[in-house]
Chain A
Amino acid sequence: MKLILLLWIMLVIYAVLYIVPPAEGLGELVRIAFFHIPVAWVSVLAFLLSAGWSIQYLRTRDIQYDWKSSAAASLGLLFCLMATISGAVFAKLTWGAYWNWDPRQTSIFILLLIYGAYLVLRASIQEEKERARIAAVYASLSFLTVPFLVFIIPRFYFSLHPEPVINSAGKLEMDTIMIYILLAAVGACTALFLQCFNYMVQKKQKSA
């Protein structure tokens, strides 16, 4: 399983470096996007999973859900950091500034804040059940703010961010080959996340 994953990641890296043609206007920089988009996707996915498991924990009080939630959040923070950094580098090279509070930058930054707050909260409570309970409450509360942020952020900040792969008109803007490579990269990144996640949860289960 691990071997297949490794092979897959190698293949994706190879494809990104040698098959993807330089894009119009973006040049060689387009290759960063193949790292940035999957990582950003995983950081959002991890957040949703973490919030979902938190709500599950509150409903069932099964400590397993707390482990899952915390593992997803810690990995999420890591991926979120990578997405922020790769995004900032990309922004510097294309728009000339690392940071300009673009809506997507703002959103990912808020995600970073929530992850940070959640993990700091966990670190500051000793008793296991109490930690699980309070952290789960916080995760579900912060999850609630997301729809509001999605609504409000684009109203305040002007966007330079390239349209998502499938833009509002539903029209594909990339070559089909690039789409496939991007999807492969997203898949690889998600699989990597799940692999690390399983490893973390299993470690927790063994030590308990």
Chain B
Amino acid sequence: MPTTKLNLLDCIWAIMVKDGICEFRTRYAVSALFMFALISLASISMSIGAASLPVDITAALLWVLLFFCAMAGLSRVFVQEEEAGTIMALQIYGPGQAVLFGKLLFNIFMLLVLTILIIPLFIIFLNVDIYHWPVFIVVLILGDIGIAAASTITAAMVAKTQGKNALFTVLTFPILLPQFLSSISATAKILMNSKPDMSDILFMAAYNMVLMIASSIVFDYLWYD
């Protein structure tokens, strides 16, 4: 009899890989999001022409862009399951916590891929200089994790509602706000060639942790009727 006990981590990994394979086979979300980012960046760049933007606006632009890309694509992890009807099979066979963290990891991965694609475009189109790469990367990663954490739990909520996509943005923004403000200010500092305070980075990391723990607590209420 095939009954080797595997732990939760394995389930999390299985769900993430499953989402990854499905995404890789269709490449729907990644390409749509990338085109979305490209068009937004190009439209900003075209409309300002040769003029250069003040750095704090550039920093805000980067995060607004990432936020709206996330809003356009990250709800898919649950909405897609709901629409294809596969969510019931997942509810029967998948442990709730594994589903949440599998989806969360997948979203973080997606957002990081997207960020890697966007950053060169951002540098080219808006003509920015990045002075502190290591810190910048840390801020990007922490910010991405925050966006993914906030949107995974709200995606689970909107999957059962009508008008999923519009609602998704409305619900996610207030929850993400503290993280969003601090990523913008940290990025602005980096673009101004001064290192952000350690406390900013710590704040972002702490917020991510709290968000994930809270999602994990409330997710069971969403997942099990």
The residues of A with any CB-CB pair to B shorter than 8 Å are 58, 110, 113-114, 116-117, 120-121, 124-126, 130, 133-134, 136-138, 140-142, 144-145, 148-149, 151-153, 155-156
Contact = CB atoms under 8 A, between A and B. Distances in A.
Contacts of B210: 144, 148
A128 to B, nearest CB: 13
A120 B167 CA distance: 8
Contacts of B222: 133-134, 137
Contacts of B177: 110, 145, 149
B171 interface: yes
Interface residues of B, number: 28
Nearest to A153: B181
A125 B161 contact: yes
Contacts of A138: 154, 157, 171
B55 to A, nearest CB: 16
A26 to B, nearest CB: 30
Contacts of B4: none
A148 B178 CA distance: 6
B203 A58 contact: no
A110 B181 CA distance: 12
Contacts of B207: 148
B174 A113 contact: yes
Contacts of A134: 157, 160-161, 222
Interface string B182-202: 100100000000000000000
A124 B178 contact: no
Contacts of B133: none
A121 B178 CA distance: 21
A72 to B, nearest CB: 17
A144 B213 CA distance: 11
A152 B175 contact: no
B163 A110 contact: no
A145 B174 contact: yes
Name the residue in B153, B171, B174, B218 with the highest tally of chain A Cβ atoms < 10 Å from its Cβ: B174
B174 A142 contact: yes
A120 B157 contact: no
Chain B facing A: main interface SS: helix
A155 B185 CA distance: 10
B99 to A, nearest CB: 15
B42 interface: no
A118 to B, nearest CB: 9
B214 interface: yes
B221 interface: yes
B178 A149 contact: yes
16 contacts: A114-B174, A117-B171, A124-B162, A126-B162, A133-B221, A134-B157, A134-B222, A137-B222, A138-B154, A141-B175, A142-B175, A144-B211, A144-B214, A145-B177, A151-B203, A156-B185
A34 B29 CA distance: 52
Across chains A and B, which 10 residue pairs bring their CB atoms closest together, nearest first?
A148-B178, A124-B161, A114-B174, A137-B218, A113-B174, A117-B170, A124-B162, A117-B171, A134-B157, A152-B178
Contacts of B215: 141
B63 to A, nearest CB: 14
Contact of B174 (A117, A125, A133): A117
B109 interface: no
Contacts of A136: 221
A114 to B, nearest CB: 5
Given A110-B174, A136-B221, A152 B161 contact: no
Contacts of B170: 116-117, 120-121
Contacts of A133: 221-222, 225
Interface in B130-165: 153-154, 157, 160-163
Nearest to A143: B214
B173 interface: yes
